Structure 1
Amino acid sequence: MVRTAQKTTAKTSRESSSEPGESTADFLILEPAGYPMTSVLDEYPEITDPGVFEHYAREQWKGYTAQKGDYLFDNRMFPDFAYKVTDVEPPGSVIGQNTHIIVNETIVSSTPTVEFRSDVTFDDVIGQQSARKKCKLIERFLEAPEKFGKWAPRNVLFFGPSGTGKTMLAKALANKAHVPILPVKATELIGEFVGEGARQIHQLYDRAQEMAPCIIFIDELDAIALDRRHQELRGDVAEIVNALLTEMDGIVERVGVCTIGATNRTDTIDAAVRSRFEEEIEFTLPDEKERLAILKSNVKTFPVPVKDLDLSAIAKMTEGLSGRDLVSKVLKTALHNVIIDDREYVIQDDLYASVKKLKNIPASPNADRMYI
């Protein structure tokens, strides 16, 4: 079982260190292990002065009985960042004021480059013909960014109702252009401490520059690019917006980096941020023909056979629903009900029941009880 050490265990460890037989560690060798929950923004904290870090580490973990394989967690400058104990001498000894602490600096100083490749294709995106046509501009740019110069489409806004394929199209675009995509939800950029959000914005763009040509896809953009009239409601949003504006303005030139922001709330986006987008691409709800195509495409992948389905009737009933609604709330609900009931087939009534429940259409009364 892996043992972990937190700052809160220090008192217990100090008390136990006075027991007979326990000795103070002569040296401790660590290597960075990262954060428990990783994201595209995580990086190893750089150690510029090993002597200062050694003093910092001893003050934080003094009194802890270290074993090879333990994890020591930073609770100060980089909360929850973990260092793994790769060696301690003597084994099972206590970290003390004279313990020599060494970090494998070759690991610490290297920031891993994570590339996100998409397997989504344009064939997976049904409808949105106008949006797909406009995306050819971004595709051409990513294929040869050096040709565009100041005319590059560096900032593009995808807007429209939720579930209309904005994320899918961004991934398909990255696949078509054979470039990595860094997808991030804007809510993940809002940190707990002032300045953390701005740091993550700049870090995100630094990472993208290393991977260029590259797409940065910021979903739920309105969460950070909130209209300044409402910013007093949202902690560090102001400094996040300023950092985003700096990057989008190109003050630091990011050749080959295209920012795609996505939102379903253009009315709440700060005017200064929206003005930075050279292109705005609208996504619309599917029409009846497109809804039918979405239903047919997804029913083919059911793990349970279907029987006598009239998908055109379902397409007519589902006006106003997005593609995601059709898949998650109509097809998936029907399929799950069939599996729960241990039935062999998905039939038309299963789809009808899903649509009626979604649209709050009352079920037909039982014919046997109509004239009681």
Structure 2
Amino acid sequence: MPRKAVEKPGEVKYLILKPLGYPLKASYHEYPVVDNPKVFDRYAKDQWKGEFVSKGKLLFDIRMFPDFAFEVISAEPDYGIITDSTIILVETPSRTIETEIVKDVSLSDVVGQEEAKRKVKVILEFLKNPEKFGKWAPRNVLFYGPPGTGKTMTAKALANEAKVPFLSVKSTKLIGEHVGDGARRIHELYERARQVAPCIVFLDEFDSIALDRSYQELRGDVSEVVNALLTELDGIQRNDGICTIAATNRAEMLDASIRSRFEEEIEFSLPSYEERLEILRKNLQEFPLEVKAKLDEVARQTEGFSGRDLVEKVIKSALHRAIAEGRDRIETEDFMKAAVKTMPVKNPPKHMFA
């Protein structure tokens, strides 16, 4: 029989490294500071070009930081060869900016939110082909709605389906302890985004820095962060291929001057009965215990719950309770009792415990 041809590994497009330390200098705990990502990217490719890499692979620097070890924490595709075209990123120990090559989540995994998913397809097309849009690109988009309704999941799904990096930061981490910290972090975020574009910049908990000035006691002095952000959103520097998505639970409290920078606002709403039923069914497909429950009844009695509430506060809570009691089956009552603890009503219906 003819020998089956072995598929040759292709080129790695993106590579994210985690600094581990100096293996032969146990007492030396300092991490290298990559002040210029472009310079490091060039040096890294010069020494590692042709190296086969996959998740977990260790790479040792012999030029900029001799003997320093880096671990591959993510790559697109999952394995391949480093070439001159590979973009190499290093995570910082502070983890202010999370850089991720998203896997295993797609828009089909977001239950409901049909109007939102319809609108974000424009973002998906832009990320796949930025040159097609020119000045009409969807550069700044606001996701708003109750917590747990799929804003972050949708943004990650776009990154996955477009095969682009996902750069996320909680807006609270942009507020520094010293003057200038916040502005520096904003510019570092967008400098990295320009390096790996096309990409998504995701600003979570956006209201923490973008509240209207009338809420000064809540927002504190974030003027330097806001000014730096407005500079980036206005595109003073060219941000070709970058889509900024900001997520908030309180759009009505945002500062008007900041909100006006977002050319598109996309609403995420609480799931309907049918959507709650689908969320329950979807998350119980692979479950460690047998489920003998009337899911339609659970869905009916959880009006006002977000998808995250159903997963974290109903399903997970019921599972943990059953395991703690040594049971191998979950019934309707388990979900109902878990739901009551979360339900924003003083007197839940008596039939919930029937």
TM-score by length of 1: 0.68
Secondary structure at the residue paired with 1:320? coil
What does residue 147 of structure 1 align with? 132
* Deviation (angstroms), 1:183: 1.7
- 2: CA distance, partners of 1:262 / 1:171: 12
Shift of 1:210: 0.7
The yes-or-no answer on 1:180 pairing with 2:180 is no
Corresponding residue for residue 142 of structure 2: 157
1:132 equivalent in structure 2: 117
Q: 1:313 aligns with which of 281, 290, 297?
A: 297
Q: What runs of 5+ residues in structure 1 fail to find an aligned partner?
A: 1-39, 44-66, 79-103, 366-372
What SS does structure 2 have at the residue aligned with 1:218? strand
1:343 paired residue among 327, 333, 336: 327
Q: Is the 8 A contact 1:231 1:237 kept in 2?
A: no
- What letter matches 1:112 in structure 2? L
Superposed CA deviations along residues 88-112 of structure 1, whole A, max 9, x for unmatched, are: xxxxxxxxxxxxxxxx87139x983
2:208–2:219 CA contact under 8 A, matched in 1: no
CA distance in 2, matches of 1:192, 1:315: 45
Alpha carbon RMSD of aligned pairs, Å? 2.7
> Could you tell me whether the CA contact under 8 Å between 2:167 and 2:200 is conserved in 1?
yes
- CA offset digits 1:232-267 (Å, max 9, x no partner): 654541110000000000000111000000001112
Q: What is the SS of the residue equivalent to 2:210?
A: coil
Q: CA deviation at 1:301?
A: 2.5
Aligned length: 273
Summarize deviations over 1:159-218 as a string: whole Å, max 9, x none.
011100000000111111111111211111111112101100110000011110000011
2:6 counterpart residue number: none
Alignment of 1:351-366 (within 5 A): 351-359=335-343, 360-361=346-347
Cα deviation, 1:319-342, whole Å, max 9, x if unaligned, reads 111111111111111111001101
Deviations 1:339-366 (A, max 9, x none): 110111011111121122322546859x
Distance in 1 between the 2:29 and 2:102 partners? Answer: 35
| SS of structure 2 residue aligned to 1:140 | helix
Give the Cα–Cα distance (whole angstroms) in 2 for the partners of residues 311 and 218 of structure 1: 35
2:12 matched residue in structure 1: none
The answer to whether the Cα contact below 8 Å between 2:164 and 2:198 also exists between their aligned partners in 1 is yes
* Structure 1 residue aligned with 2:89: 112
Residues 231 and 238 in structure 1, CA contact (< 8 A), matched pair in contact too: no
Superposition deviation, residue 303 in structure 1: 1.3
The question of 1:296 aligning with 2:281 is answered yes
1:145 & 1:68 partners in 2: Cα distance?
A: 46
**Counterpart for residue 70 of structure 1:** 27
AA of the residue aligned to 1:333: S
SS at match of 2:115: helix
DSSP 3-state at the match of 1:142: helix
* In 1, Cα distance between equivalents of 2:283 and 2:63: 50
In 1, Cα distance between the equivalents of 2:123 and 2:278? 26
Secondary structure of 2:270's aligned partner: coil
Q: For 2:185 and 2:125, locate their aligned partners in 1 and report how far apart those are by CA, in whole Å.
A: 29
Q: Following TM superposition, by how much is the alpha carbon of 1:124 offset from its aligned partner in structure 2, in angstroms?
A: 1.2
2:210 touches 2:254 (CA, 8 Å); kept in 1?
yes
Q: CA offsets per residue over residues 37-64 of structure 1, 9 Å max, x none?
A: xxx9x99xxxxxxxxxxxxxxxxxxxxx
Inter-CA distance 234–158: structure 2 relative to 1 (3 Å threshold):
closer
In structure 2, the CA distance between the partners of 1:144 and 1:297, relative to structure 1 (3 Å rule), is: same
Q: Aligned partners of 2:315, 2:347: CA distance in 1, in Å?
A: 17
Distance 1:295 1:232, change over 3 A: closer
Do 1:197 and 1:236's aligned partners in 2 also have CA atoms closer than 8 Å?
no
User: What's the secondary structure of 1:107's corresponding residue?
Assistant: coil
**1:2-30 Cα shifts (integer Å, max 9, x gaps):** xxxxxxxxxxxxxxxxxxxxxxxxxxxxx
Paired residue secondary structure (1:156): strand
1:312–1:193 Cα change, 3 Å:
same
Q: In structure 2, do the counterparts of structure 1 residues 163 and 208 end up closer, same or farther at CA, with 3 Å as the change threshold?
A: same
Provide the rounded CA distance (Å) in 1 between the counterparts of 2:277 and 2:301.
11
Which residue is 1:189 aligned to? 174
1:47-62 to structure 2, matched below 5 A, reads none
SS in 2 for 1:179: coil
Following the alignment from structure 1 to structure 2, what is the Cα–Cα distance between the partners of residues 185 and 234? Answer: 15
The structure whose Rg is larger is: 1
